[in-house]
Amino acid sequence: MTVKNVLRKALEQAVMNAQNRGIIISTTLPDFVIEHPQNREHGDYASNLPLKLARSAGLTPVELAEKVIELMPPISEVSTITVAPPGFINFSLNPAWMVKEVDHILVDRATYGKIEIGNNQKVQIEFVSGNPTGPLHVGHGRGAVLGSTLANVLQIAGYNVEREYYINDAGSQLDAFNRTLLARYKQYHGIDVEIPDDGYMGNYMNELAQEIAGEKGDKFLSLPENEAVKEIGNIGVRKVMDWIRKDLESLGVIFDVWFSEQSLFTLGLYEKVLSLLRKNGYVVEKENATWFISSMLGENKDNVLVRSDGTPTYFATDIAYHYDKFIERKFNKVINIWGADHHGHVSRMKLVVGAFGINPDNLNVIICQLVTLKRGDEVLKISKRSGDIITLQELIDEVGKDACRFVFLLRSADSQMDFDLELAKKQSADNPVYYVQYAHARISSILRLAAQTGIDYKRGDVTILKSEPELELIKQMLFLPEIVETVATLFEPHHLPYYAMELATKFHSFYKQCRVISEDQPVTLARLKLVDAAQIVLAKVLTLMGMTAPESM
């Protein structure tokens, strides 16, 4: 249990005790927060409970805070509890408890940071899901890192997590890809044909056509047009998906399931779901199209499912896909990471989930905003269709997997971000990636020196750790389970890099002020235990972010 949860339970118990004794009027406990105050002179944690409860309790916030403190059960994690105007309760961690936790971290080396809030619920995270019409670009990379990191955190929070890539291998964009590929293939064979107006202009289409020509010769020139488009398109999609898989693997992103949109049709699920919606009165025919009556469920307009030409909309296939997620595969919770252009799609998908009889809150959508790629002050343009494309793999090749992942995590998903390639490659404290990983490498160097000199620190007594740099480092280490809970509850992976930077800062500060290996044997043994534990925590957060924990730099 995190310290925050310990404090929450203690506050709830104190309020219950006050109500039972008639000290305050019995009332429903309001929502209240426990957070880290900006000014740490006020303590390590602060709660606004008295401010939330005072009016209904018939007391001033300060009076209520004092009553609550008197009735709180003993808390071994806390040394002092104080009241601060206008009615906050502040808590300071107990140094004697903190230092003993160093030993617990060393014992729980493999599992430290793991919490149990998921109760093994089935959670699906669907992310990236780019059309198989070209290589992934930088924007896909951001969604890939967010999704894979969130999956890592949810796993150690006790959820049964499945990572899924939805292959958009049906629809008009794929048709445009197929026709473009055939045109490029014909051009390679010296035939003068135009690229379709809605075609893909990237140079990769030329490369793809040449590769297929090298393998198949002029096979597709003698086939009927429709047959040639379909066959060469199938080959092209497979090759593009191979690119995508390799690019994602080089970013440290692995999927459990690659789900084909086309399978919704071939397995009959699309028709099944459309029939079910008709049966339940959610579908009408009007204006030569088939409509989902979203207005019946509270949205201000209805939405087309099947166009007048008989082709399904993206919305229609997505309905079938989410039926498969919730009803067929029985996920308790579904998390989708979508691009900024899907923002308007969220509300209607929640309505659909409700129409299936599923709580709409079980569908969680994270909208991932755009990335601006920079090289110093120069803004680099990205355009898949114009041919001026900067691929994800090019970015990985230039700055490395770890820098990509860390930088993509630095901003919340709903914030647009600048990615500075020059800063990401810089080997100095200005680069947060280098700064954090160097802390881990420095600890490795210390522990190697201890091993080389034959120091066995297992019997070290951590209770002698009393200096401020030591305690500040320990305190930051102990926040990891709390960070895991925050990320797993709010679906906000960006808390991890900020935690990592703060932990690295605390370690670097400790290292400058406290000599680890010295002639004072008891202090040496205790501090070696501390840096070993710090490395465990730092490696854990780096692993959660999908990064390496280097032994040297």
Number of H helices, E strands in the chain: 20, 15
Shared domain for 435 and 540, answered yes or no, is: yes
pLDDT, position 386:
41
CATH number of the domain where residue 75 is located: 3.30.1360.70
Establish if 45 belongs to a structural domain.
yes
Establish if 392 belongs to a structural domain.
no
**Burial class of residue 80, CB neighbours in 10 A (0-12, 13-18, 19+):** exposed
Cβ-contact 223, 229 below 8 angstroms: no
Establish if 493 belongs to a structural domain.
yes
- The number of angstroms, rounded, from the C-alpha of 50 to the middle of its chain's C-alpha atoms is 34
Which amino acid would we find at residue 123?
Answer: V
Establish if 221 belongs to a structural domain.
yes
Shared domain for 531 and 443, answered yes or no, is: yes
When divided into structural domains, the chain yields a total of 3
Shared domain for 88 and 180, answered yes or no, is: no
- For the question of whether the overall pTM of this predicted structure is more than 0.85, the answer is yes
CATH number of the domain where residue 523 is located: 1.10.730.10
CA–CA distances in Å: residue 529 to residues 56, 520, 522: 49, 14, 11
pLDDT, position 344:
84
Query: What does pLDDT average to in each consecutive run of 10 residues of the chain (553 residues)?
Result: 94 92 82 91 93 87 94 95 95 97 97 96 96 91 97 98 95 92 97 93 92 96 95 96 97 97 96 94 93 87 93 94 98 96 89 94 96 86 55 92 97 93 89 96 98 96 97 98 97 98 98 97 98 98 98 92
Of 70, 93, 116, which closes a domain? 93
Establish if 505 belongs to a structural domain.
yes
Cβ-contact 547, 406 below 8 angstroms: yes
pLDDT, position 108:
96
Of 192, 226, 250, which closes a domain? 250
Residue positions counted in the chain? 553
Establish if 7 belongs to a structural domain.
yes
Of 106, 47, 43, 4, nearest to 483 by C-alpha is 4
pLDDT, position 384:
43
Cβ-contact 360, 303 below 8 angstroms: no
Establish if 13 belongs to a structural domain.
yes
What's the 3-state SS for 404-471? HHHHHHCCCCCCCEEEEHHHHHCCCCCCHHHHHHHHHHHHHHHHHHHHHCCCCCCCCCHHHCCCHHHH
Those residues with Cβ within 8 angstroms of residue 283's Cβ, 6 or more apart along the chain or in another chain: 274, 277, 290, 291, 292, 293, 305
Of 250, 271, 303, which closes a domain? 250
User: Structural domain of residue 75, as residue ranges?
Assistant: 3-93
| Backbone phi, psi, residue 143, to 5° | -65, -35
Establish if 424 belongs to a structural domain.
no
